[in-house]
Amino acid sequence: MFLRFLSFILLACVGALLGFYWAEQHHASTLGIYLLIGTLISILMGWIWDTFKALRVISWLRQGDLGSAPQTFGLWGEVADRVRRLLRDRQRQLAASDQRLTDFLQAIQASPNGVILLDDQAQIEWCNQTAAEQLGIDPLRDIKQRIGNLMRDPIFTGYMSSLDVSHPVVMSGRSDREGHPVRISVQRHPYGEGKQLLLTRDVTALEQAEAMRRDFVANVSHEIRTPLTVLSGFVETLQNLPLEPADQSRYLALMSTQAHRMQSLVEDLLTLSRLEGSPSPGFHNSVLVEQLVRVCQDEAQALSAVLYANQSPQIFSVSWDEALQHAKLLGEPRELQSALSNLVSNAVRYTPAGGRIEVRASLSADDKLCLKVSDTGPGIASEHIARLTERFYRIDKSRSRDSGGTGLGLAIVKHVAQRHGASLNIQSTLGKGSSFSLVFALDRFSLS
Ligand code: ADP
């Protein structure tokens, strides 16, 4: 400011000097007037120059282009310089907050849950791809649309108009179809002035798991209640009625059957929970294929003798490829034995007296080991095959129970197979028989 004042004084002095010089040249008598005119002219020129520089700065500020700042000195040069620095700082801050916003939105986009931002009119301000897919919203086209106009589900409409936001609501998702349910949970979170955040979550798997848990508990309770009711009935009879010794021992035999049924059920349940709760078997334990097959043969013959006493006996055959004479399966011997025993016991229980049951260990062309249990039983209709490994799924409940089945055998077999990286293949023809094969990959067995 001082410099500006100094330059103004200098300019005035230069003007005065020029006026003096002009008066001398023209021998003017009124020196004072010439001095004044010289001073005024120089001040006017200084003012015009100053205004010109100010106009350049103003026109640059109007354009707002940082790159074309006027190169000028003095006060206006400094003004231009400071404004340029200020603008540059602002631009940097703006770019940084733009980047932060982009990162933030990308993070929300990557979220497995849906996010929708609603303004105070319940119009969509922004939504991520997950929410768009779950609710059938177009994240670009539907911006500024009222969510109530897009979502017509009465459950959703009721939830949006209620004051209670403490609980989420669950409704059908956009891709919900017959046989392919999709359930979406939506929760409102008010924020700011009348704005709302909607969080959506796919809870289909959760609901299915919950339904499975409920079914499982109901099934177990039902399976245990039946033998328990029978048992307590017999106990009451034995307590209250004076029975003949023959009747007494008949009742005790029936009670023992029911107790065994409960015992088998509890054992199978414990096996399943052990299979689910323990880590996958490693490769350091092993069992001879021949031993597996032989133990099954012994068990099957014993079971067959009990089930079909006084009827034509079932015919058993066990065999294995020459190459598998000394083959070992790598894994948990107890689990592998229980899987094959379950398959063989099913074959015995569902094949009528006089039928054939064959257990064969073979090496396939693609170097896989196959343990196959075939029978000449009633066979299984194709619509049941995919569901046989579900817990408690039975085609004929009373036949399964009468022969000591728990409905958990094939579920155990499937678990054991999965834990050993094997697959369970089921083939069956109604009226002709069935075959159940456990197929192990090369890394799960050794030939010597
Ligand atoms: P269960 O204890 O009832 O035998 P599983 O899980 O072992 O339970 O088998 C499920 C159902 O699959 C059985 O109830 C039966 O209907 C059917 N099934 C299993 N094995 C055979 C077979 N070899 N022949 C015919 N049906 C079978």
Q: What is the pLDDT of residues 114-145, one digit of tens each?
A: 999 999 999 999 999 999 999 999 999 999 99
Q: Identify whether residues 310 and 409 lie together within a single domain.
A: yes
Answer with the residue of higher pLDDT: 351 or 61.
351
Rounded to the nearest angstrom, the distance between the alpha carbon of 385 and the centre of ligand 1 is 10
Top mutation candidate among 388, 429, 432, 436 for ligand 1, by most atoms within 8 Å of CB? 388
pLDDT reported for residue 354: 93
What is the per-residue pLDDT for 117?
95
Mutate to test the pocket of ligand 1, among 359, 391, 400, 406 (most ligand atoms within 8 A of CB): 400
Q: How many CB atoms lie within 10 A of CB 174?
A: 13
CA–CA separation, 380 and 395 (whole Å): 8
User: Average pLDDT, stretch 78-107?
Assistant: 91
> Could you tell me which of 333, 325, 357 has the C-alpha nearest to residue 436?
357
Number of domains in the chain: 4
Query: Does the Cβ of 375 fall within 6 Å of ligand 1?
Result: yes
How many residues does the structure list for the chain? 448
Residue nearest to atom 19 of ligand 1 (CA): 346
What is the reported pTM? Answer: 0.71
Helices then strands, each counted (H, E), the chain? 13, 13
- Cα(401) to centroid(ligand 1), Å: 10
The verdict on 38 and 83 lying in the same domain is yes
State the distance from the centre of ligand 1 to the C-alpha of 290, rounded, in angstroms.
25
Distance CA 46, CA 225 (A): 110
Ligand 1 atom 13, closest CA? 394
Span 420-445, pLDDT tens digits: 999 999 999 999 999 999 999 999 99
For residues 189 and 152, give the distance between their C-alpha atoms in angstroms, rounded to a whole number.
20
Among 252, 278, 304, the domain-final residue is: 278
> Tell me, what DSSP letter sits at residue 122?
S
* 35 CB-near residues (< 8 Å, 6+ apart): 16, 19, 20, 23
Are 330 and 416 found together in one domain? yes
Ranking 81-85, 155-159, 280-284 by mean pLDDT, the lowest is 81-85
Same domain, 431 and 442: yes
Domain of residue 50: give its range: 2-104
In 3D space, the residue among 330, 283, 296, 317 whose CA is nearest the CA of residue 448 turns out to be 330
According to the model, what pLDDT value does residue 370 have? Answer: 97
Q: Which of 43, 72, 104 is the last residue of a domain?
A: 104
- CATH assignment of the domain containing 307: 3.30.565.10
Is the pLDDT reported for residue 1 higher than 80? no
Given this model, what pLDDT does residue 350 score?
95
Token code pair at residue 443: 């890394």
User: How many whole angstroms separate alpha carbon 200 and alpha carbon 115?
Assistant: 6
**If you average pLDDT over residues 377-401, what whole number do you get?**
92
Contact 372, 362 (CB under 8 A): yes
Q: Are residues 299 and 438 in the same domain?
A: yes
Tokens found for residue 302 = 């014993």
pLDDT digits (tens, 9 = 90+) for 268-296: 999 999 999 899 999 999 999 999 999 99
Q: What is the Cα–Cα distance from 439 to 352, expressed in whole angstroms?
A: 27
Span 397-417, mean pLDDT? 91
Of 181 and 30, the one with more pLDDT: 181
- Ligand 1 pocket check for 380: Cβ under 6 Å: yes
Range with the lowest mean pLDDT among 26-30, 246-250, 394-398?
26-30
Q: Distance, CA 400 to ligand 1 centroid (Å)? A: 7
Q: Quick check: helix, strand or coil at residue 307? A: helix
Do 15 and 72 have their domain in common? yes
Question: Taking all residues of the chain, what is their mean pLDDT, rounded to a whole number?
Answer: 91
Can you name the residues that pair with 124 across neighbouring β-strands? 118
The CATH code of the domain that includes 215 is 1.10.287.130
Q: Are 377 and 349 in contact (CB under 8 A)?
A: no
Q: Are residues 91 and 180 in the same domain?
A: no
The verdict on 141 and 94 lying in the same domain is no
Phi, psi values for residue 200, rounded to 5°:
-115, 150
Cα separations in angstroms, 250 against 26, 67, 253, 308, 434: 156, 106, 5, 19, 36
Same domain, 26 and 117: no
pLDDT at 76 (0 to 100): 84
- Where among 173, 202, 231 does a domain terminate? 202
Q: Are residues 301 and 232 in the same domain?
A: no
CA 113 from centre of chain? 10
- With a 6 Å cutoff on the Cβ, whether 400 touches ligand 1 is yes
- Per the rule left: phi > 0, alpha: psi between -120 and 50, beta: everything else, 98 is alpha
Based on the domain organization, do 272 and 283 belong to the same domain? no
**What is the model's pLDDT at position 271?**
94
Cα separation values, 409 from 218, 264, 274, 345, 405, Å? 18, 10, 14, 9, 8
Domain CATH code at residue 144: 3.30.450.20
With a cut of 80, say whether residue 310 has pLDDT above it: yes
Q: Is the pLDDT of residue 65 over 80?
A: no
Residue 165 shares a structural domain with residue 251: no
172-222 residue pLDDT tens: 998 888 889 999 999 999 999 999 999 999 999 999 999 999 999 999 999
| d(CA 346, ligand 1 centre) in Å | 6
